[in-house]
């Protein structure tokens, strides 16, 4: 990917007005160091590959909760809210490490500067103080304030591409599939990512 970003994603080969083209424009204006361009491009494209995890998690949830899939089929306009609920319930990236640049007080505990903290997105998304009945999958919840894409200045810049891909596939499935049935599932054991190494599904 780094070779592609440094050799192929270059001026003259990029779509005008694209994300990568905008990075090169920022280089021309002196706002971005040219050496970091390939990394910035990968930071956008790479995380969007995790969308396949989102999609698998979504199909799994709809198979487990056919009544929620029926709501989506009856009203495809619910798909954006359903996507938010899928990523809240089954965030593909469960945690992320952050370096504290200053002391931070949280719940009467001091996190010291220059220590590392682990932010558990999966736990935050199941916090009953924020989400009533947090373990219930509900496509009408409208849980747009989930932490699956991070928060603030570190929010995932590729989330819009991920949502676009998910919206496209679930719109197509809603028009064709009445119900999902899980034939076989194997969880992928990983310290950070939550998804399946195998998810065999049949459909009606």
Residue 33: which domain range? 1-48
The residues, ordered by sequence, that sit 6+ positions from 186 with a Cβ below 8 Å of its Cβ are 196, 197, 198, 199
Q: What is the model's pLDDT at position 51? A: 66
69 and 99 in one domain?
yes
In a domain, residue 20? The reply is yes
58 and 39 in one domain?
no
In a domain, residue 197? The reply is no
Q: Which residues of the chain have pLDDT under 50?
A: none
CB 194 within 8 A of CB 57: yes
Q: What is the model's pLDDT at position 47? A: 67
The per-residue b/e assignment along 25-35, b for 16 or more CB within 10 angstroms, e otherwise, is eebeeeebeee
Q: What is the model's pLDDT at position 50? A: 67
| 93 beta partners | 193
In a domain, residue 14? The reply is yes
pLDDT in tens, 56-72: 999 999 999 999 999 99
In a domain, residue 117? The reply is yes
Residue with tokens 């496509």: 139
Q: What is the model's pLDDT at position 48? A: 65
β-pairing, 109-111 vs 104-106, is antiparallel
In a domain, residue 167? The reply is yes
What is the pTM for the complete model shown? 0.80
59 and 30 in one domain?
no
| 174 beta partners | none
């Amino acid at each position: 990917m780094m070779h592609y970003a440094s050799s192929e994603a270059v001026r003259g080969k990029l779509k005008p007005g694209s994300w990568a083209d905008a990075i090169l424009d920022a280089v021309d204006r002196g706002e971005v160091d040219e050496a970091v361009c390939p990394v910035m491009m990968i930071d956008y494209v790479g995380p969007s590959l995790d969308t396949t995890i989102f999609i698998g998690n979504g199909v799994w949830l709809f198979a487990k909760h056919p009544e929620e899939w029926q709501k989506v089929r009856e009203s495809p306009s619910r798909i954006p809210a359903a996507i938010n609920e899928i990523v809240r319930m089954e965030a593909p990236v469960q945690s992320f490490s952050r370096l504290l640049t200053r002391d931070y007080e949280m719940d009467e505990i001091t996190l010291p500067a220059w220590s590392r903290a682990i932010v558990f997105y999966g736990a935050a998304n199941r916090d009953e103080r924020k989400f009533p009945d947090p373990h219930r999958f509900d496509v009408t919840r409208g849980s747009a304030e989930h932490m699956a894409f991070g928060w603030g200045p570190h929010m995932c810049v590729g989330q819009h591409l991920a949502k676009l891909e998910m919206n496209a596939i679930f719109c197509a499935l809603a028009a064709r599939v009445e119900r999902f049935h899980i034939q076989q599932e194997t969880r992928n054991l990983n310290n950070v990512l939550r998804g399946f190494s195998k998810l065999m599904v049949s459909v009606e």
